[in-house]
């Protein structure tokens, strides 16, 4: 068990499950464009901090479609692992890919919260992993079913977080220059008013 309650890039792996358009169509728990933006922000955070990423898809040629294009553009070196089971943990190739990262803390997001997110989270917890669920990069069929699934995961021992909290936890200090520009650009592109504020602050400190 880590001595600090805060994560570092060396602690964790990011697991993206079924971030596919066909499933996003069914997600009614939040605005779909925001949901996709949040997933891309999480993926960009993993890349910026050199965190291993495992991507899995299902029914990509039948119903769900491939990994969404903005995620493919960010994760150029990550090949999605196609599976048949709703529970990623029951797919040997996907489970072995997670284990191959060598990380015991998983940061998970995907679609839909009620099944393809919940099932591997519960299974990974039972296998002794520490699991964080990025709630705003997960989509459920309805607000009520999404929140019910999250409550079940939290009761089982998962920690709930957001993509922005995860990014800031990785950066921790804005004087860390090696990741500053990448982290700042993610917030500017995906962080709403906070991103606008960062642009404003840069203009005020270094006027063009």
Under 8 Å between Cβ of 14 and 131: no
Residue of 104, 100, 97 lying closest to 79 (CA atoms): 97
Nearest Cα residue to 93 out of 135, 57, 40, 63? 57
Q: How far apart are CA 136 and CA 164, in angstroms?
A: 9
SS3 for 142? coil
Taking the C-alpha atoms of residue 123 and residue 62, their distance in angstroms, rounded to an integer, is 26
Whole-angstrom Cα distance, residue 111 to residue 123?
Answer: 16
Measured CA distances, 67 to 59, 130, 174 (Å): 11, 26, 32
Place of tokens 């029951």: 90
What are 194's two structure tokens? Answer: 């906070």
Is 12 part of the annotated catalytic residue set? no
Catalytic residue among 116, 134, 141, 164: 116
- Report, as residue numbers or ranges, the catalytic residues: 116
């Amino acid at each position: 068990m880590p001595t600090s309650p805060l994560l570092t890039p060396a602690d964790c792996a990011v697991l993206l499950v079924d971030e596919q358009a066909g499933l996003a169509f069914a997600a009614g728990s939040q605005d779909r464009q925001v949901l996709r933006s949040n997933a891309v922000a999480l993926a960009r955070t993993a890349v910026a901090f050199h965190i291993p990423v495992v991507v899995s898809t299902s029914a990509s040629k039948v119903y769900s479609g491939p990994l969404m294009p903005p995620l493919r553009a960010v994760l150029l070196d990550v090949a999605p692992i196609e599976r048949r089971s709703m529970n990623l943990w029951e797919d040997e190739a996907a489970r072995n890919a997670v284990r191959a990262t060598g990380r015991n803390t998983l940061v998970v997001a995907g679609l839909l919260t009620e099944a393809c997110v919940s099932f591997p989270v519960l299974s990974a917890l039972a296998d002794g992993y520490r699991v964080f669920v990025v709630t705003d990069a997960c989509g459920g069929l309805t607000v009520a079913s999404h929140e019910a699934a999250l409550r079940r995961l939290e009761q089982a021992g998962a920690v709930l977080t957001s993509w922005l909290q995860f990014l800031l936890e990785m950066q921790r200090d804005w004087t860390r220059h090696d990741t500053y520009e990448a982290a700042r650009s993610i917030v500017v592109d995906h962080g709403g008013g906070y991103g606008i504020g960062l642009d404003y602050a840069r203009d005020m400190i270094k006027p063009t």
